[in-house]
């Protein structure tokens, strides 16, 4: 990455979308019955997450394993493509699509940074013009979902680690970051211009770098 590049890093769920995309994807992939069974099967870990004794990545993996079982990778990839094409667009906020397009028009590099699976995000991101997707990866073994994550859950500090690895020791001249929750706090702190949903207007794109947060 060249030193004079400007990068715009976007969280996905709640920032670009109106609701959680992982919940909708699992419902789409397995139906309500297996989704409910997944919640029940993973309930000890989900409860542990709520009371602070289980991390988000472990709870997510247990839920996905309980809901999707050892679903074939080919089938899951097809469901992910269909979901990205037919379901995700209705969840996307028009004003955020406009913001993405504005960054693109200015020649900025776009990166989607999300705790949701890259399985379906990469398809939507490609159609929206993103240069990269940094997201949670699912693990497959012998052509089937293994019930585990292949990468750390891309949330909180992990978002910054993934971004810095993507920068490849060559950080951009200016970094814009967009988020909506606690899981984006570290990424927003890294940015020159940061926007948190509900905390004010988005920064002007013709501003000079200044380590500011819209409020």
User: Are the beta carbons of 16 and 8 closer than 8 angstroms?
Assistant: no
User: Are the beta carbons of 199 and 21 closer than 8 angstroms?
Assistant: no
Give the residue-averaged pLDDT of 201-211: 67
Q: What is the pLDDT of residues 155-196, one digit of tens each?
A: 999 999 999 999 987 889 999 999 999 999 999 999 999 999
Q: What is the pTM of this model?
A: 0.90
Instruction: For residue 198, name the pLDDT band (cuts at 50, 70, 90).
Output: confident
Give the residue-averaged pLDDT of 78-100: 96
Q: What is the pLDDT of residues 27-40, one digit of tens each?
A: 999 999 999 998 99
Give the whole-angstrom CA distance, residue 65 versus residue 63: 5
Tokens of 142: 């012998």
CATH of 6-213, one of 3.40.50.300, 3.10.450.50, 3.30.450.60, 3.40.50.1000: 3.40.50.1000
User: Are the beta carbons of 146 and 165 closer than 8 angstroms?
Assistant: no
> Which residue ranges make up each domain of the chain?
6-213
For residue 81, give Cα distances in angstroms to 32, 43, 77, 88, 213.
Answer: 20, 29, 6, 10, 35
CA neighbours within 13 Å on the CB side: how many for 125?
A: 24
pLDDT at 211: 45
Provide the b/e sequence for 10-24 (b: ≥16 CB within 10 Å). Answer: bbbbbbbbeeebbeb
Give the residue-averaged pLDDT of 60-87: 95
pLDDT at 51: 86
For residue 112, give Cα distances in angstroms to 128, 131, 192.
Answer: 10, 8, 17
Instruction: For residue 46, name the pLDDT band (cuts at 50, 70, 90).
Output: confident
Strand partners, 204: none
């Amino acid at each position: 990455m060249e030193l004079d590049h400007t990068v715009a890093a976007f969280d996905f769920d709640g920032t670009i979308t109106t609701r959680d995309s992982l919940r909708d994807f699992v419902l789409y992939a397995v139906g309500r019955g297996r989704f409910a069974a997944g919640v029940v099967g993973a309930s000890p870990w989900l409860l542990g997450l709520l009371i602070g004794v289980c991390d988000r990545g472990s709870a997510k993996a247990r839920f996905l394993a309980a809901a999707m079982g050892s679903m074939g990778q080919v089938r899951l990839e097809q469901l992910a493509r269909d979901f990205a094409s037919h379901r995700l667009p209705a969840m996307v906020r028009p004003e955020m699509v406009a913001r993405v397009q504005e960054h693109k028009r200015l020649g900025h590099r776009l990166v989607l940074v999300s705790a949701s699976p890259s399985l379906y995000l990469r398809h939507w991101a490609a159609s929206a013009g993103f240069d990269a997707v940094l997201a949670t990866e699912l693990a497959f073994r012998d052509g089937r979902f293994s019930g585990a994550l292949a990468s750390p859950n891309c949330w909180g500090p992990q978002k910054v680690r993934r971004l810095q690895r993507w920068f490849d020791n060559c950080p951009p001249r200016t970094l814009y970051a967009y988020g909506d929750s606690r899981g984006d706090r570290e990424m927003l702190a890294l940015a020159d211009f940061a926007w948190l949903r509900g905390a004010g207007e988005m920064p002007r794109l013709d501003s000079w770098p200044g380590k500011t947060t819209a409020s």
